[in-house]
Amino acid sequence: MVEQFLGLKLRLLAGAFRRNPWQLVGLVFALLYGLGTSVLVIAGLVSLRFIDIEVARSAEVVFGAVVLVLFAVLPLVLGLDDALDPRRFALFGMSTTRLSVGLGLAALLSVPALVILLIALALIATWSRTGLSVGLAIGSVPVIVVTCVLTARIATSVGAVLLSTRRARDVTMVAGLLLIVCALPVVALLARVDWATDGVAVLSRIERVVSWSPLGAAWASAADGAAGDATGATWKLVIAVAWIGVLAAVWRALVAHALVTPPRQAARRRYAGLGWFDRLPATPIGAIAARGLTYWGRDGRYGMSLAIIPFIPAVMVVALHVGGVPLAQLALLPVPVICLFLSWAVHNDVSFDNTALWLHLAASVTGRNDRWGRLLPVLLLGVPVVVVGSMLSAWAFGSWAVLPSLIGVSGCILLSGLGLSSIMSAAFPYPTVRPGDSPFAQPAGGGSAAGLVQAFSFLLILALSAPAVLFGAFGLLGWPGWHLWSLVAGLGVGLLALVLGTVAGARVYDRRSPALLAAAVRN
């Protein structure tokens, strides 16, 4: 029975190489990236052989704990498909024990298992200092590999049960991004540590706690053997082996639960009334704007964009603060960055419609109505962000004198970005995620065209905003009068770009409507 599971897994792996050429190229690059990363890690572990035992132990144990956490978290955050889901074997009449053992062994035939095996083998070189440490390192290799693979297998199965609906997967991915952002302050604190003098002490304090937990016990056993602590090394290896028993029991329980539990179905939501269609005017522009607002509230692709936008300035602020930029100055950054990505989010809005675009053509919607209807939802959201966000930024900066510049720069970025997006979405649509698919799915084709359009639209928005940014910079350098000029230039250029861009986009839309529908259908 076990050989059948192993053969099935090998056939699944071989099938991954029989995809279309571009998918095969991506898979090969992913494999090369994983193996290249493992080579660098192996080189680092081997180099620990030639430094002090205490330093090597601290670095190696903390690294091992991070690796195990990644094996537990990544399957949940990425929402990976389970090719060997236990529920697929429910009708074969196998016992729970045989099925769990077979699937567990089949999980060893994977690229992550190969990578962690190579890394674990490198520990033999790291701790080739005494006979005891070498023996413990050899004994730790299967323990580390089995622990990581079982952890990933359990996480994948839990994800298959809890994340069976698209909305659940999307929420989990957003939660993962939120956790990453919440971890940024910790990264900032670690970056401020003087690793040349205090790094060893910090790692040592972390290692003393982690080494007696399942996260690092297997990684610490050989290190203790090299340090001459045979008792501690033995007990830590016992803890690691006992933890495998716990994981095996959890895995068997998950298999038993999956065999008798059908997949979750997404709950159907009930809506009363027509929503935004009841609230906006019964005009072509109002109807398109209502549809756009409905998309922003219900479509996971739009919702994911809105959820990610606040994370971008947060990451930038933390990174720059770690680099030494004062927080008071960084308070001026978030609102313009949010406006940049908010206005840029609709630069490919036509492709998001997919086949539904035919409704516009069948109803003879003019380009003017289509362009303004698509921009109104972003304006309704962006204008309060500019006004309220600029006031909060000026308060955080400590001077209300910068408020005109903040409104001018942010407003220019928002308005000019929307004007350019009106042209881009009609002139240069490219394939995007289809309705109903995961927002993190990779659309087929159009990768290079998408990159060029995105880069070009970004550069144009920044170029149009340059005068307002320059005048605002003059105001910060000691000439307060330039803040007012930044406001005038920013709003003036922004409004002009919005009007001209919308007019030009409407003409392009009227001229290319059939081609737009053909492009959307091919998406």
Q: What is the pLDDT of residues 72-94, one digit of tens each?
A: 888 776 655 566 777 777 777 77
Residues 453 and 405 in one domain: yes
Average pLDDT over residues 444-473: 76
Q: What is the pLDDT of residues 264-290, one digit of tens each?
A: 655 566 666 677 888 888 888 888 888
Q: What is the pLDDT of residues 473-518, one digit of tens each?
A: 998 888 888 899 999 999 999 999 999 999 999 999 888 888 887 7
* Structural domain includes residue 266: no
**Nearest by Cα to 456 from 358, 348, 364:** 348
Comparing 34 with 447, the larger pLDDT belongs to 34
Residues 232 and 378 in one domain: no
Looking at the 3D structure of the chain, how many domains does it have? 2
Residue by residue, DSSP assigns 396-449 as HHT-GGGHHHHHHHHHHHHHHHHHHHHHHHHHS----PPTTS-TT---SS-HHH
Poorest-confidence range of 15-24, 68-77, 328-337? 15-24
Residues 509 and 417 in one domain: yes
Residues 254 and 303 in one domain: no
The two structure tokens encoding residue 192: 């401020």
Residues 198 and 114 in one domain: yes
Poorest-confidence range of 344-348, 400-404, 428-432? 428-432
Q: What is the pLDDT of residues 416-427, one digit of tens each?
A: 999 998 998 888
* Structural domain includes residue 173: yes
Tell me how far apart the alpha carbons of residues 315 and 184 are, in angstroms, rounded to a whole number: 7
* Structural domain includes residue 478: yes
Tell me how far apart the alpha carbons of residues 123 and 40 are, in angstroms, rounded to a whole number: 14
Residues 186 and 329 in one domain: no
CB 143 within 8 A of CB 239: no
Average pLDDT over residues 154-161: 78
**Residue 225: its pLDDT value, please?**
87
Q: Is the pLDDT of residue 462 over 90?
A: no
**Residue 278: its pLDDT value, please?**
82
Tell me how far apart the alpha carbons of residues 56 and 88 are, in angstroms, rounded to a whole number: 45
Q: What is the mean pLDDT of the chain?
A: 80
Residues 312 and 186 in one domain: no
Residues 239 and 321 in one domain: no
One-letter amino acid of 40: L
* Structural domain includes residue 356: yes
Residues 250 and 299 in one domain: no
**Residue 447: its pLDDT value, please?**
47
Comparing 86 with 464, the larger pLDDT belongs to 464
Domain closes at, from 226, 259, 292: 259
Domain closes at, from 224, 259, 294: 259
* Structural domain includes residue 267: no
Q: How confident is the model at residue 446 (pLDDT cuts 50, 70, 90)?
A: very low
Domain that holds residue 110: 2-259
